[in-house]
Homo-oligomer: A and B are copies of this chain.
Amino acid sequence: MPEPWYNAGRWVLASCRRDYDRNVTSQRPAPYKLGIVGAGQIARMTHQAAVKLGITPRLLAEEHDDAAALAAPHAVFSHPDALSAFADTCEIITFEHERIDLGLLERLEDDGMVLRPGIKTIRVAFDKMHQRRVLLNRGLPVPPFTEVRGPDDILDFASVYGWPMVIKSVRAGAPGERGAWIVESESEALKVLSEQGNRQLMVEGFQAIVKELVVLVVRRPSGSARCYPITEVIHADGVCKEIRAPASIGHRVATEARELALRLADDFDAVGVLAVELFLTTDGLVINELAARPHNAGHITIEGTPTSQFENHVRAILDLPLGPTWATAPAIVTMNVIGGFDRIDPTDHLAEALTVEGVQVHLYGKQPWPGRKLGHVTAMGDDLEQARDLARRAEAALNGRRAW
Contacts and interface: CB of A to CB of B under 8 A. Distances in A.
19 contacts: A1-B85, A4-B76, A5-B89, A8-B76, A12-B73, A18-B64, A19-B70, A28-B348, A48-B48, A53-B350, A53-B362, A54-B364, A72-B72, A306-B360, A315-B354, A318-B350, A320-B350, A321-B351, A328-B328
Contacts of A375: 54
B12 A6 contact: no
Given A323-B354, A328-B328, 4 more contacts: A9-B13, A48-B48, A51-B71, A54-B364
Interface of A: 1-2, 4-6, 8-19, 22, 26, 28-29, 32, 44, 48, 51-56, 64-65, 69-73, 75-77, 85, 88-89, 303, 306, 315, 318-324, 328, 345-348, 350-351, 354-355, 357-358, 360-365, 367, 375
A364 B32 CA distance: 14
Contacts of A4: 76, 85
A72 B47 CA distance: 11
A363 B54 contact: yes
Contacts of A26: 345
Given A8-B77, A69-B12, A358-B324, A54 B18 contact: no
The copy count of this chain in the complex is: 2
Given A6-B13, A88-B1, A323-B354, A346 B64 contact: no
A315 B354 CA distance: 9
A254 to B, nearest CB: 23
Nearest to A44: B51
A1 B20 CA distance: 12
Contacts of A52: 48, 361-363
A61 to B, nearest CB: 9
A363 B15 CA distance: 19
Contacts of A320: 350-351, 354
Nearest to A362: B52
